[in-house]
């Protein structure tokens, strides 16, 4: 018996040993995962980031093309510990070859896509490394953020070799907390940006625009107090005249933290205490407020304060709502005389990012007679929204849920929701924005409808002061266009894209087309048009000529006037833009030529057809 018990104790001992080993291994795995997954980095969404004092990091950055991403991943596909983010310098006697040197690498301008900066990068899709040095003096009780206006499509950032953040999404701003990584004196920042298209990206593999990669919008350093105002929302109440309501959020706020909001020009000031959720609820009546509108784009300096933090924003106050099939701006029906715009830079082409780009594009829209623009198909740079606020243009801003995403993939939903959070969180106080668009031309499937309905209700939770829309595909039964996409139930305003005269039959078909709209809601025709090469002339039935494009517009405008609940339109598109889908040699040359203006600023005949209709208000129900 003894023996068996001895055997028992031996085998018991062995199994206890294995048990301990197993527990140890489990602990190790959990710990290492925790270490990897631990958010070594923190990033925040900042409302009005462009109103903060900032140290610009724009300019020449060293760049290294890295198609196999060997600077970040070992051939086992693990993240390297000695990646190029260390910015090491090859030196004599190295025990291991350092096979990169930012100091000797060619430069890329930031902001700016890489495709239009170097012929060898025109079609490049893959990882790119950026590096620049900067000197800095950290301040006591101050947090330092690396502000990234946009990086298309995935990006990773290190400061002095320490990972500070990682981001996915090519068109929204984010801010990485680099306080623990930045040092006094000399510093360096390394970024990796990968514009590889993937099926589970947002947008997905195929788009009808160029996949401009890189640090495509401005980069800067922003210093904030340890407790600061990260987001705020101030808007005019729809029900009580001259009542400004909303909230101001303070990060890491101590209980009892006070927030103050002041509009000096109106001699108006209010204060509130931050609640448990970090938000101070704001509502105060103001006298003599001049409402913002396209006719009177009145902006006020609004100062927000909390503790040692303060921010001065420029804000307009207006209301927008739907009543039946009307869109009401400041309580009055409005017709949106618009045009669609891609963020393609006039003249130089490439990703638009500057004040000059915004002034040129929106200046053309004003010249066209617009009171409204559809900024497609992704959130544009904040310079566009600032310009729209100042120039008096209403805006449709769009989340890049474009065509056939993986609507049944929860990870893809999370990406779309994250980008919507960043878009609304950053841009929410621009009076010009009246519509948040959830999507463009998505297939009518149950998974798609569920996906976007959920996004729409999330958008309403984030911002109850604006309208929710999307550009829907429209089916046809003979010469009847039928708007019955189930997604329409989730929208305040129905956007519809149609191409009668270009992708559908002939320009004259519009004369015999009628519409069946299964929703008693306002409708915006969010796209129509056709291609024309500027300077190519012929008969009005000769495709690709200016005359043909103008003919489409003339027949379209007659049809649009017969849509009873039409409340706006944004023909496709203001300016020709680059797209890999458009090779037709001698005509398109990798540009979508539906612009009313060429990428070199040449106005086509259709520009004047639409301009006449807008100036004489012969299209759209009179306001």
Q: Which of residues 494-553 bind ligand GCU (CB under 6 A)?
A: 497, 527
Q: Which is nearer to ligand GCU, 230 or 527 (CB)?
A: 527
Q: Which is nearer to ligand GCU, 208 or 312 (CB)?
A: 208
Joined together, the tokens standing for residue 8 give 């028992």
Sign of CA dihedral 65, 67, 71, 72: positive
Residue nearest to ligand GCU (CB): 208
Q: Which is nearer to ligand GCU, 249 or 377 (CB)?
A: 377
What DSSP line would sit under 230-281, residue for residue?
A: EEEEEEE-SSSTTEEEEEEEETTPPTT-EEEEEEGGGTEEEEEE--TTSEEE
Q: Pick from 115, 419, 592, 605 the residue near ligand GCU by CB under 6 A.
A: 592
Q: Which of residues 364-393 bind ligand GCU (CB under 6 A)?
A: 377
Least distance to ligand GCU, CB of residue 81, Å: 43
Strands (E) located in 542-590: 566-569, 577-578
Q: Which is nearer to ligand GCU, 300 or 378 (CB)?
A: 378
Q: Which is nearer to ligand GCU, 379 or 392 (CB)?
A: 379
- Give the dihedral of Cα atoms 78, 80, 85, 87; nearest 10 deg: -160
**CA gap 478, 486 in Å, rounded:** 21
Least distance to ligand GCU, CB of residue 172, Å: 19
Q: Which is nearer to ligand GCU, 208 or 421 (CB)?
A: 208
Tell me the site size for ligand GCU, rule CB under 6 A: 9
Q: Which is nearer to ligand GCU, 567 or 594 (CB)?
A: 594
Least distance to ligand GCU, CB of residue 197, Å: 15
Nearest to 455 by CA among 490, 429, 423, 405: 490
Q: Which is nearer to ligand GCU, 154 or 377 (CB)?
A: 377
**CA gap 58, 40 in Å, rounded:** 25
Q: Pick from 279, 318, 380, 594 the residue near ligand GCU by CB under 6 A.
A: 594
Question: What's CA 191's distance to the chain center, in Å?
Answer: 20
Q: Which is nearer to ligand GCU, 157 or 572 (CB)?
A: 572
Least distance to ligand GCU, CB of residue 536, Å: 17
Contact 58, 218 (CB under 8 A): yes
Q: Which is nearer to ligand GCU, 224 or 401 (CB)?
A: 401
Least distance to ligand GCU, CB of residue 592, Å: 5
Q: Which is nearer to ligand GCU, 85 or 548 (CB)?
A: 548
Angle at 35 between CA 194 and CA 147, to 5 degrees: 45
Kind of pairing between the strands at 332-333 and 523-527: unpaired
Least distance to ligand GCU, CB of residue 500, Å: 13
Least distance to ligand GCU, CB of residue 543, Å: 14
Least distance to ligand GCU, CB of residue 365, Å: 18
CA distances from 90 to 94, 98, 99, 102, 291 (A): 7, 5, 7, 10, 61
Least distance to ligand GCU, CB of residue 528, Å: 9
Contact 189, 158 (CB under 8 A): yes
Angle at 526 between CA 523 and CA 530, to 5 degrees: 135
CA distances from 570 to 218, 341, 376, 529 (A): 28, 9, 10, 10
Neighbours of 535 (CB within 10 A): 10
Least distance to ligand GCU, CB of residue 532, Å: 12
Q: Which of residues 411-450 bind ligand GCU (CB under 6 A)?
A: 440-441
Nearest to 383 by CA among 349, 326, 426: 426
Neighbours of 59 (CB within 10 A): 12
| 196 to 235: interface string for ligand GCU, x by CB under 6 A | ------------x---------------------------
To which residue do tokens 């089916």 refer?
Answer: 475
Least distance to ligand GCU, CB of residue 589, Å: 15
Least distance to ligand GCU, CB of residue 159, Å: 37
| DSSP secondary structure code for residue 603 in this structure | B
Nearest to 549 by CA among 501, 601, 616: 501
Q: Which is nearer to ligand GCU, 228 or 591 (CB)?
A: 591
| DSSP secondary structure code for residue 325 in this structure | T
525: helix, coil or strand?
strand
Least distance to ligand GCU, CB of residue 486, Å: 19
Q: Which is nearer to ligand GCU, 319 or 588 (CB)?
A: 588
3-state secondary structure 110-131: ECCCCCCCCHHHCCCCCEEEEE
Q: Rule CB under 6 A: is residue 129 a binding residue for ligand GCU?
A: no
Nearest to 534 by CA among 521, 551, 522, 546: 546
**CA gap 405, 200 in Å, rounded:** 7
| 562 to 581: interface string for ligand GCU, x by CB under 6 A | ----------x---------
Contact 307, 227 (CB under 8 A): yes
Q: Which is nearer to ligand GCU, 383 or 440 (CB)?
A: 440
Joined together, the tokens standing for residue 463 give 């911002």
- Give the dihedral of Cα atoms 481, 482, 486, 490; nearest 10 deg: 70
Q: How far apart are the first and last CA of the chain?
A: 101
Q: Which is nearer to ligand GCU, 220 or 497 (CB)?
A: 497
Least distance to ligand GCU, CB of residue 121, Å: 23
Least distance to ligand GCU, CB of residue 77, Å: 34
Q: Which is nearer to ligand GCU, 515 or 577 (CB)?
A: 577
Least distance to ligand GCU, CB of residue 569, Å: 14
Which H or E element spans position 65? strand 59-65
To which residue do tokens 């589970």 refer?
Answer: 200
Contact footprint for ligand GCU (CB under 6 A): 208, 377, 440-441, 497, 527, 572, 592, 594
């Amino acid at each position: 018996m003894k023996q068996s018990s001895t055997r028992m104790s031996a085998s018991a001992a062995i199994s206890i040993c294995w048990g301990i080993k197993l527990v140890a291994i489990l602990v190790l795995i959990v710990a290492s995962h925790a270490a990897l997954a631990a958010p070594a980095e923190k990033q925040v969404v900042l409302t009005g980031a462009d109103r903060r004092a900032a140290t610009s990091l724009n300019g020449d950055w060293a760049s290294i093309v890295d198609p196999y991403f060997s600077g970040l991943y070992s051939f086992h596909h693990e993240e390297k510990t000695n990646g190029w983010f260390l910015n090491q310098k090859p030196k004599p006697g190295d025990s291991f070859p350092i096979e990169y040197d930012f100091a000797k690498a060619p430069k890329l301008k930031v902001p700016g896509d890489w495709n239009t900066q170097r012929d060898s990068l025109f079609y490049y899709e893959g990882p790119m490394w950026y590096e620049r040095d900067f000197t800095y003096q950290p301040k006591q009780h101050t947090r330092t953020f690396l502000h990234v206006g946009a990086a298309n499509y995935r990006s990773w950032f290190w400061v002095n070799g320490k990972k500070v953040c990682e981001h996915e999404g090519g068109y929204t701003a984010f801010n990485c907390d680099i306080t623990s990584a930045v040092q006094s004196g000399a510093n360096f920042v390394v970024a990796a940006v990968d514009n590889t298209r993937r099926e589970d990206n947002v947008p997905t593999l195929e788009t009808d625009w160029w996949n401009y990669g890189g640090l495509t919008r401005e980069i800067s350093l922003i210093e904030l107090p340890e407790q600061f105002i990260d987001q705020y929302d101030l808007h005019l109440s729809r029900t009580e005249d001259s009542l400004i309501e909303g909230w101001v959020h303070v990060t890491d706020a101590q209980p009892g933290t006070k927030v103050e909001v002041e509009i000096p020009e109106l001699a108006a000031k209010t204060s509130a205490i931050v609640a448990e959720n970090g938000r101070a609820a704001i509502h105060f009546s103001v006298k003599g407020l001049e409402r913002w509108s396209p006719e009177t784009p009145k902006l006020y300096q609004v100062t927000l304060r909390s503790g040692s933090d303060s921010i001065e924003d420029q804000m307009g106050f207006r209301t927008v709502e739907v009543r039946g099939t009307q869109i009401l701006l400041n309580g009055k029906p409005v017709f949106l005389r618009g045009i669609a715009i891609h963020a393609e830079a006039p003249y130089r082409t490439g990703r638009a990012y500057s004040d000059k780009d915004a002034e040129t594009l929106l200046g053309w829209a004003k010249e066209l007679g617009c009171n409204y623009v559809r900024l497609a198909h992704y959130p544009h740079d904040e310079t566009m929204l600032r310009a729209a606020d100042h120039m008096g243009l209403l805006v449709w801003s769009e989340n890049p849920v474009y065509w056939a995403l993986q609507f049944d993939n929860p990870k893809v939903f999370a990406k779309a929701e994250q980008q919507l959070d960043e878009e609304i969180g950053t841009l929410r106080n621009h009076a010009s924005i009246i519509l948040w668009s959830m999507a463009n031309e998505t297939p009518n499937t149950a998974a798609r409808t569920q996906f976007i309905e959920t996004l729409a209700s999330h958008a309403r939770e984030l911002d109850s002061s604006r309208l929710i829309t999307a550009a829907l595909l429209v089916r046809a039964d003979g010469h009847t266009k039928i708007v019955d996409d189930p997604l329409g139930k989730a929208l305040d305003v129905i956007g519809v894209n149609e191409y009668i005269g270009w992708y559908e039959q002939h320009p004259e078909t519009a004369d015999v087309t009628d519409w069946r709209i299964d929703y008693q809601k306002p409708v915006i025709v969010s796209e129509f048009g056709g291609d024309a090469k500027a300077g190519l002339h012929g008969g009005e039935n000769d495709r690709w000529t200016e005359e043909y494009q103008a003919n489409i517009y003339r027949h379209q405008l007659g049809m649009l006037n017969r849509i009873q609940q039409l409340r706006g339109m944004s023909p496709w598109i203001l300016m020709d833009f680059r797209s890999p889908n458009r090779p037709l040699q001698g005509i398109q040359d990798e540009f979508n030529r539906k612009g009313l203006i060429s990428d070199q600023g040449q106005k086509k005949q259709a520009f004047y057809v639409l301009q006449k209709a807008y100036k004489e208000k012969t299209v759209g129900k009179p306001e």
